[in-house]
Structure 1
Amino acid sequence: MDVDLTVTAGNYRFDGVSFAVDTNIWLLGDEEEVLVVDAGFDSTAIAAAIDGRDVLGILCTHAHNDHADAALALADATGAPVLLHPDDAKLWARVNPGRRPDAELADGQVLEVAGSPVVVLHTPGHTAGSVCLHLPDDGLLFSGDTLLSGGPGMTGDVLSSASTLHDSVRRKLFVMPDETVVHPGHGYDTDLGTERRESWAGQI
């Protein structure tokens, strides 16, 4: 499994809050086909990284603008469907009014790219519809803003819940092997063992 990273930059905006942020855009696949994980800020940069490969889907880990506001432009450029968990439908409508995602993501759903299964895990807390993507055969987890290097994603707005996020991490993520590599929505890679021992000690 090849994993390519493109970092896009812009301003996160929600309920009057705005600040500059870099977002990790992940491409999973091989030389022929990819899944795109998140599409924030710059569809042109993401399309350049795709480099002509067949895009099987654009998977939004959640609908905050820094992860989803370029998804429709990227879909139009590539012909790929946009997938989102339905619990983020209201948030999506604020970011991309007038046009819905093409399909829904569901907990336990299994997608496939380059011969590898990609398991969808519904991990609410950062937003109601947040998901992570687990590649069990490759020992990889794409965690969006559910789990970052150094701790959880933020839970400071009305659509988030710290207790729900902690429960999601405990029940869905920390049951995986310690050596599982975490590719987050922002910042640097980590692994579940490091996060369990250092960032979440005493919390889970």
Structure 2
Amino acid sequence: MNEYTGKVAVGGPADVRELPHATIAKLAVGPMSNNVYLIRCRSTGEAVLIDAADEPERVATLSTLGGTPAQTILTTHQHADHWQALAPTVAHTGARTLAGDADADAIPVPTDRRLAHGERLHVGALEFDVIGLRGHTPGSIALYYADPDGHGHLFTGDSLFPGGVGKTGNPADFESLLDDVQGRIFDVYPDETWFYPGHGNDSTLGAERPSVSQWRARGW
């Protein structure tokens, strides 16, 4: 097993995490240092790409890492920095597109499957919980993979970062997002869950849990 750190830089190589049943690759793309993820099922070779953010040639290369092009592309939310490379990546891979129902109409590539909180997504033999997180956008989606031989892996888009929740436009949206992050993530998944945000470095729920009340008190 290689030593995954989750620390990537625009223009640099992907960091790859080898799990018993899956591989997770993380790539940073410019100009806003977005993270793009590829999760591939070891037993079937099927893969899902999360956020075809920008730099379509590099995203296309990532989509084929370890096998055939990704068959599924999930856009975590409607903000443009997360889908600049979506159209060319779909053209390159022929992948089906997924997004949260409330955000799908704002993404200028047709969404093949609109996701809702509580659904399950299957990628080969891998199963993901679909988690709706309302506040950063109305239809932001996170995915949780429960590794049967290890800890969980959570892909949070721009809804949860080390140090706080994602940016919101008003106090009501902040309360909505923090309520969902607390009730649908921290109250459900264990401390050892490793999470992968839409920008920057990864963290664990255990590292962030003691600060949740402070986030609520400060209001961001």
TM-score by length of 2: 0.79
Question: 1:68 and 1:105 mapped to 2: Cα distance?
Answer: 17
Secondary structure of the residue aligned to 2:181 is helix
In the TM superposition, residue 102 of structure 1 has moved relative to its aligned partner by 2.0
Query: Which residue type is aligned with residue 85 of structure 2?
Result: A
Structure 2: unaligned runs, 5 residues or longer = 1-21
1:17-32 equivalent positions in 2, closer than 5 A: 21-30=32-41, 32=45
Identity of aligned residues (%): 34
| 2:143 alignment counterpart | 133
| 2:191 alignment counterpart | 178
Q: Does 1:34 align with 2:40?
A: no
Deviating beyond 4 angstroms after TM superposition, the runs of 4 or more aligned structure 1 residues are none
TM-score by length of 1: 0.84
Question: 1:38 and 1:6 mapped to 2: Cα distance?
Answer: 11
Question: 2:112 and 2:55 mapped to 1: Cα distance?
Answer: 20
Q: Does 1:162 align with 2:174?
A: yes
Structure with bigger strand share is 1
Structure 1: unaligned runs, 5 residues or longer = 11-20
| 1:18 alignment counterpart | none
User: Deviations for 1:133-166, whole angstroms, at most 9, x for unmatched residues?
Assistant: 00123510000011011111111379x8111111
Alignment counterpart, residue 117 of structure 2, candidates 95, 104, 107? 107
Q: How many residues align?
A: 187
Query: Which residue type is aligned with residue 143 of structure 1?
Result: T
Question: Which segment is superposed worse, 127-136 or 52-61?
Answer: 52-61
CA RMSD of aligned residues (A): 2.0
Query: Which residue type is aligned with residue 34 of structure 2?
Result: T
| 2:78 alignment counterpart | 63
In the TM superposition, residue 89 of structure 1 has moved relative to its aligned partner by 3.2
